[in-house]
Amino acid sequence: MSHRIAAERKGNIVGRQKRSKHLRIDESFWVWLESPTTPMHVAALATFETDGEPAAEVVRRILADFRKRTDVDPRFRTVIRMRRFPRRARRALVDDIDLDFHLRHHTLSAAGGESELAQLVSQLRSSRFDTRRPMWQVHVIEGLSGNRFAVYLAAHHALINGVDAVRLLSRSLATDGGAPVATPVWTIGRPRPTDIEARRATKSRPNPARALFAAAKAVGTLFLAWRTNAPLTGPFTAPRSRLNVDIGPRRRVCTASIDLNRIKDLSKASGASPNDIVLAACSTALRRYLLDIGGLPDKPLIAGCPVSIAAPEGSNADSSIGIMFADLATDQPDPAARLTTISRSTTAAKNHQAALPHAAPLPYSILAMAPHTIRQLTPGAVERLAPAFNLIVSNVPGPSQPRYLAGARMAGLYPLSLLFKGEALNITAVSYAGRMHLGFTACPTALPEVQLLARYIDDAVDELEDRYATAIPDLPKPA
């Protein structure tokens, strides 16, 4: 049975266009970079544990209830009209949606674990969206061992960014295990500002010229940071590495998880932020992996770290994504020295951006990423020019309390991001209910057995705990 929303229009996939307008420049960025080897969609993988009820029964109940929800929010009825740089892409709102196309059901061939689930998700990550339709899908996956199932949400980055995707997923799930089936993500709209917030936003509109001037000046400082001994790290100081080669269309996905209390204890013992601890764990695991495959460069790897830029107060727009650069200190064998360098680098980047006036962070990020964008769009530039950074490492805050779907508790939440040309690895972390979950997205032709990298994360935390054991009360020294 086909579950088509609104009036049926045979042969017309997108239906009648209600409105059409340009995307913002930062949204069009993701359209410009779309290519056969670089699909620009972000995703989240959530695993659920049932409370005694067979997982197959819970999945059937979820699918039955989800298929009844045909009240699709405009965000999920938006078709993006792809256009080449420098023309901004357009969005068109459509009347009808074929829900059977966007909501998919999978059953693993045998009761599987993380490896079988990762294989399926890797296949899904390797596929591009049909640009004639709204570019999003929800996959419900059963057949996992331990009476578990999974939900995989994917959407084009121009439609929704990773930070807002985590927030949206959190809003769609219940906070009570006894609640009925939660609201599907495609029915959830953007929060609307109150009248007071809207009036306040109108009165406090920033001066665009002042914001642009301040952003340009700050970007100039960033690009010249390499001339000084200051810890501020700028783009294009990254070395060439095994991470920065031609990539193909295939993707390999793997996951890892860390107890958040371990990260907090290390933060207290070292004086570094929890985000720095996550970066240090990723850096340590990455150093070991590159040593394994004979690809560790002499110079330190540089991470591009996305930062969330909140929408103006009183606006119902999504947040935007900015960027900062962090020295991962992979050239340093001592884990404490590595963490110190990372912390100094991220602190300098935060202080640098904190000095920007209101409304300047977004133009700052666009200007800072402009050379990277041009490098991506210019044929042959990726092979000829040094990378702006070696990989993306991002950290997204998730819900602190457990979430439920049809009575099943969400056990894990793994963000999965995208790859740029010449960048074969992306690491994204999200905190949820006392754990830090990490999702790794890689090009398997460039990075063989990348699942080893995920396995090395726990060892990396052990190494840091061993180094700071005397500074953490009651912390047993790792064996």
Secondary structure (DSSP) of 226-284:
GGSS-S---TT-PPP-TTSS---S--EEEEEEEEHHHHHHHHHHH---HHHHHHHHHHH
Task: Confirm if 253 and 125 have CB atoms less than 8 A apart.
Answer: yes
Tokens 């949820």 label which residue? 432
CA atoms within 13 A on the CB side of 159: 31
Torsion angle, alpha carbons of 78, 79, 85, 88, to 10: -40
Rounded to whole angstroms, how far apart are CA atoms 382 and 385?
6
Among the three residues 187, 222, 241, which one is the final residue of a domain in this structure?
187
Element (H, E) at 162: helix 162-172
- pLDDT at res. 228: 79
Task: Confirm if 118 and 253 have CB atoms less than 8 A apart.
Answer: yes
Task: Give, for all 479 residues of the chain, the pLDDT tens digit.
Answer: 455 655 433 333 444 444 458 998 888 999 999 999 999 999 999 999 998 899 999 999 999 999 999 999 999 999 999 999 989 999 999 988 999 999 999 999 876 677 889 999 999 999 999 999 999 999 999 999 889 999 999 999 999 988 888 888 889 999 999 887 878 999 998 766 544 444 444 445 557 888 889 999 999 999 988 877 779 999 889 999 999 999 999 999 999 999 999 999 999 999 999 999 999 999 999 999 999 999 999 999 999 998 876 545 444 455 557 789 999 999 999 999 999 999 999 999 999 998 888 888 888 988 999 889 999 999 999 988 889 999 999 998 899 999 999 999 999 999 999 999 999 999 999 999 999 999 999 999 999 999 999 999 999 999 999 999 876 655 544 44
**Is the domain of 436 the same as that of 335?**
yes
- pLDDT at res. 285: 97
| Bridge partners, residue 408, by sequence | 405
| Bridge partners, residue 106, by sequence | 141
Residue 327 domain flag = yes
Q: Which residues are catalytic?
A: 157
**Is the domain of 309 the same as that of 429?**
yes
**Is the domain of 183 the same as that of 223?**
no
Chain centroid offset of residue 453 CA: 18
Task: Confirm if 144 and 150 have CB atoms less than 8 A apart.
Answer: yes
The β-bridge relationship of strands 41-49 and 148-156 is: antiparallel
| Bridge partners, residue 321, by sequence | 308
List C-alpha distances in Å: 222 to 29, 128, 308, 420. Answer: 21, 35, 19, 22
- pLDDT at res. 100: 94
Residue 452 domain flag = yes
Residues 6+ apart with CB under 8 A from 39: 126, 127, 128, 129, 249, 418
**Is the domain of 144 the same as that of 259?**
no
Number of independent structural domains in the chain:
2
- pLDDT at res. 279: 98
**Is the domain of 146 the same as that of 79?**
yes
pTM comes to 0.89
- pLDDT at res. 479: 43
**By residue range, what is the domain housing residue 132?**
17-187
**Is the domain of 229 the same as that of 349?**
yes
- pLDDT at res. 344: 96
Q: What is the CATH number of the domain that holds 43?
A: 3.30.559.10
List C-alpha distances in Å: 432 to 257, 260, 286, 330, 436. Answer: 10, 9, 23, 28, 6
- pLDDT at res. 236: 87
**Is the domain of 291 the same as that of 357?**
yes
Is the omega angle on the peptide bond into residue 134 within 30 degrees of 0, that is, cis?
Answer: no
Residue 143 domain flag = yes
Q: What is the CATH number of the domain that holds 392?
A: 3.30.559.30
Alpha helices in 324-416 (DSSP H): 335-354, 361-377, 381-384
Task: Confirm if 356 and 242 have CB atoms less than 8 A apart.
Answer: no
- Helices 274-292 and 335-354 sit at what angle, rounded to 10 degrees? 130
- pLDDT at res. 166: 85
Residues 6+ apart with CB under 8 A from 211: 357, 358, 359, 360, 363
List C-alpha distances in Å: 422 to 6, 161, 406, 438. Answer: 43, 21, 42, 22
**Is the domain of 300 the same as that of 171?**
no
For residue 238, which phi and psi values (nearest 5 degrees)?
A: -75, 140
List C-alpha distances in Å: 296 to 251, 337, 455. Answer: 22, 18, 18
Helix and strand counts by DSSP (H, E) for the chain: 13, 15
**Is the domain of 175 the same as that of 217?**
no
**Is the domain of 144 the same as that of 262?**
no
**Is the domain of 238 the same as that of 119?**
no
Residue 11 domain flag = no
**Is the domain of 73 the same as that of 135?**
yes
Residue 193 domain flag = no
Residues 6+ apart with CB under 8 A from 229: none
- pLDDT at res. 2: 55
DSSP state of 194: P
List C-alpha distances in Å: 133 to 66, 101, 130, 308, 309. Answer: 19, 9, 6, 28, 28
